[in-house]
Structure 1
């Protein structure tokens, strides 16, 4: 018996909230495991002052029902065919950008939990380099840190002080690795656990505004 990995065409669900006026940029969000695009869009909309940004929430291609409910949720990948899935997802995001970016405005990628890896991969390996990454509750993908040729954009690293998944030690390790590469970095430890809170949204707004001033400081 042999095992094949066969390329197949599929479609992904993407939510777009257009900017109120001429967009200052594109803010693209990636949800966590067993979440969906609606959940992440709601998180993006809590960031103060993003009315002048086009918000895009991308849903993972691996859809399933949450428990016994009829709610459709997604994940980004499993360990099976992981490398192929990474390439598929990067291509997916490239296509999302092509479909939603009307002008050559900056792109900021934001991820929560499992979506953090997608935000970093899209920012550093996609066709359009990211202007910034907002990381909430998960680590930087190790394969990106292992590649010395990759350039990371300004980054906001955040974690909840009660988060047992993305621990203080993990965030300190990521911060040290990014700083050693010369990455402009902000970090935040907020009250709460493995969640996106109002404190995260406020920090995200400060970070986005700092990009217009030349980088996170």
Structure 2
């Protein structure tokens, strides 16, 4: 018989740049499957360090990659899915409270970004946390099936939804299997997505990332 118990748990998060009076843009980002946040966050060095402050979350489960040397992280699997989602929400809320406890996020432009498996994570957090975001960037990942329009009633009609996909992505193709995901994003979030297609594979392209705010 399966049982569950609650206990204190420590998990890392990473930041890039300093949060100061000059900061204008806040990024909260979620890497994909097998990615560690400490490496993922480096891709955001394309933005002005004085104006952009980045917080990278990380999947709560770690494992050895196929080379058996490097370590990756995962947000969740189908095993214990509901428990994982509750743990993720508690983790996200704790990070937001710790990092921004002395700040009013409404005074910044808040950008939420998820890549690959991180798309589901950041979409859930956009729904559950009720953060008033300026931009939601969903890059080559699936949208959570359980979210509904009521979860996004807090979203401003001035917010922007950007959907990014490489034309050589190994997992998705806009004209084959990704269009239903995009339609779901639009229907549930209630924002018309801007589709950004680039010449590349399933990865974060720094220049494309930078163009997301142009």
Same fold judged by TM-score > 0.5?
yes
Deviation readout 1:65-96 (Å, 9 max, x if unpaired): 33454433211011111011112101211111
Structure-2 change in CA distance of 1:7 and 1:170 (3 Å)? farther
CA-based RMSD of the aligned residues comes to: 2.2
Q: List runs of 5+ in structure 2 lacking aligned partners.
A: none
Distance in 2, Cα, partners of 1:194 & 1:126? 28
Which residue of structure 2 lines up, in the alignment, with residue 156 of structure 1? 162
Give the drift of 1:35: 1.0
Which residue of structure 2 lines up, in the alignment, with residue 195 of structure 1? 203
Which residue of structure 1 lines up, in the alignment, with residue 172 of structure 2? 166
* Alpha carbons 1:12, 1:60 under 8 Å: kept: no
Which residue of structure 2 lines up, in the alignment, with residue 143 of structure 1? 146
* Alpha carbons 2:112, 2:135 under 8 Å: kept: yes
Which residue of structure 1 lines up, in the alignment, with residue 44 of structure 2? 44
State the secondary structure of the residue aligned to 1:143.
coil
Which residue of structure 2 lines up, in the alignment, with residue 34 of structure 1? 34
Which residue of structure 2 lines up, in the alignment, with residue 213 of structure 1? none
Give the drift of 1:62: 0.4
Which residue of structure 1 lines up, in the alignment, with residue 74 of structure 2? 75
Structure-2 change in CA distance of 1:178 and 1:76 (3 Å)? closer
Which residue of structure 1 lines up, in the alignment, with residue 3 of structure 2? 4
Which residue of structure 2 lines up, in the alignment, with residue 114 of structure 1? 117
Which residue of structure 2 lines up, in the alignment, with residue 210 of structure 1? none
Q: List runs of 5+ in structure 1 lacking aligned partners.
A: 207-217
Give the drift of 1:50: 5.4
Bigger drift between 124-133 and 186-195 goes to 124-133
Which residue of structure 2 lines up, in the alignment, with residue 55 of structure 1? 54
State the secondary structure of the residue aligned to 2:151.
coil
Distance in 2, Cα, partners of 1:164 & 1:138? 12
Give the drift of 1:162: 1.0
Which residue of structure 2 lines up, in the alignment, with residue 24 of structure 1? 24
TM-score, normalised with respect to structure 1: 0.82
Deviation readout 1:126-184 (Å, 9 max, x if unpaired): 2534332111111221211xx23121553110011011312214432233334345314
TM-score, normalised with respect to structure 2: 0.83
